[in-house]
Amino acid sequence: MKDIYENPLCGRYAGKEMQHLFSQDVKFSTWRKLWIALAESEKELGLDISDEQIDEMRFNIHNINYEAAEKYEKELRHDVMAHIHAYGDLCPSARGIIHLGATSCFVGDNTDIIIMDKALTIVKRKLAAVIKELADFAMEYKDMPTLGFTHYQPAQTVTVGKRATLWIQDLYMDIQDLDYLQKGIMLRGTKGTTGTQASFLELFDGDHEKVKRLDALVCNKMGYSRSFPVTGQTYPRKLDARVLNVLSGIAQSAWKFSNDIRLLQNLQEIEEPFGEKQIGSSAMAYKRNPMRSERISSLARYVITISLNPAITASVQWFERTLDDSANKRISVPEAFLATDGILDIYRNIASNMVVYPKIIEKNLMNKLPFMVTENVLMEAVKKGGDRQDLHERIRIHSMEASRSIKEQGKDNDLLERIAADPAFSLSRSELCKLTDPKLFTGRSAAQTEEYIKNEIYPYINNIDSNVVNEDLEV
């Protein structure tokens, strides 16, 4: 349909797997799986529920009668009750035991947790794939000297690979945060209307052990080993805040990377991929705009800002529950995941296809390096009998003149030529070239890169069941 609004996160950015996970089919089929788990557990604990009733429910898990549910919701103004009635229409023998003892949050909250958990697994898989691409890139260019920057002003030389480790380390911190969060995820379980389990205690005639066992059984049937020890009507909304904080962290890391690529593309040192028939501008045909990096920046800004929503929601929950979380979390949680999914697809596309221009990198470096090596030149000239104070002043004067020539006349940096021509230094041009080999000024850049990637990143990535699609991602 083209006559109503379509969310661009689905139409342009997020992958099909993430979109499907937040679909109505997944949501309502999970509701039905929870109702089945509840009925099975109640039967195992002695309630009068038959195998035939459960089989009937299981047969109709994916047979979701949306029209009936929509009709019921118009009448009842309650989405969970609407789907209970719709499910009951398909399962007439089980109608009376569906949702027995439960509150709406039994299906709503447990489903939300399950979907977020699965979504985090997708994010982790894609995050690991990006880290792997960057790690391979870092290893390939670990020795290539490049001009370092602080305050976006020329600084001490690094290597292209060493710079990439900064991008990797940000993402590695993010994936560690994700691991920690995901290991602690638990369901809401069967806690009843206000978290007291009173309805289940009534069903089991005051048997506390059976009520506790019910909670454990349902969680186990849904693939979880535990539930929150205590809840109100909902699971703690701080979970949503923690989840979106992790997504915000990923967005922050991706935004930093995308800004670096945009700056590097302006310097013509490294570019994001550019399609053979890609158009950079409708007016300026020569343009090669960094549109992928700009898209990351745009989506990352959205994820970072939307992460404030669950933080505010968690802050204003009244006592056991208030419903002003509902509409907000229906939007903020899925959209944060969808946007993050899009970010990681674009990030991987760039990381796996970055174009490096070694000659430009060398040219830019050598245009600044002479100024940075003057202390080494001074020391070498003193070894040859020069006066340190006199030579320092001569270097200052030559540096000012070379700088003026660059800025006012647009010439290349000729500082070394000026020093070679000054007999006070007693240094030939070849001797100066040896002193200004860029690799002499990168410190432990190459070693740090290799140690970090081989000792930390590759072992971690190799331990992940990546299940990553290997073909190039079209963005």
How does pLDDT run across 343-372, given as a tens digit for each residue?
Answer: 999 999 999 999 999 999 999 998 888 887
**Domain of residue 388, residue span:** 374-435
Q: Does residue 395 lie in a domain region?
A: yes
pLDDT for 284: 53
- Please report the pLDDT score of residue 470 as a whole number: 39
Residues shown for the chain = 475
Please confirm, yes or no, whether 253 is among the known catalytic residues: no
Q: Is residue 177 part of a domain?
A: no
List the one residue out of 64, 60, 76, 56 whose CA is nearest residue 28: 64
Check residue 277 and give its pLDDT.
57
Q: Has residue 388 been placed in a domain?
A: yes
Could you give the C-alpha distances from 153 to 147, 156, 157, 290, 415, in angstroms and in order? 10, 10, 12, 22, 19
Low-confidence ranges of the chain (pLDDT < 70): 1, 275-287, 465-475
Write phi, then psi, for 227 (nearest 5 degrees).
-125, 170
The one catalytic residue among 50, 281, 403, 426: 281
In a domain, 410, yes or no: yes
Residue 411 inside a domain? The answer is yes
Can you give the CATH number for the domain in which 409 is found? 1.10.40.30
What was the pLDDT predicted at 431? 84
Q: Are 122 and 34 in contact (CB under 8 A)?
A: no
**Would you say residue 408 lies in a domain?**
yes
Question: Which has the closest alpha carbon to 21: 254, 466, 241, 341?
Answer: 341
Residue 430 lies in a domain: yes
Q: Which of 246, 251, 249, 234 is nearest to 314 (CA)?
A: 234
pLDDT for res 266 = 95
Residue % of the chain over a pLDDT of 70: 95
In a domain, 278, yes or no: no
pLDDT tens readout for residues 440-462: 899 999 999 999 999 999 999 99
Q: How many domains does the chain have?
A: 1
Q: What is the per-residue pLDDT for 471?
A: 37
29 noted as active-site residue = no
| pTM listed for this prediction | 0.91
What is d(CA 338, CA 422) in angstroms, rounded to the nearest whole number? 63
Q: What is the pLDDT of residue 379?
A: 85
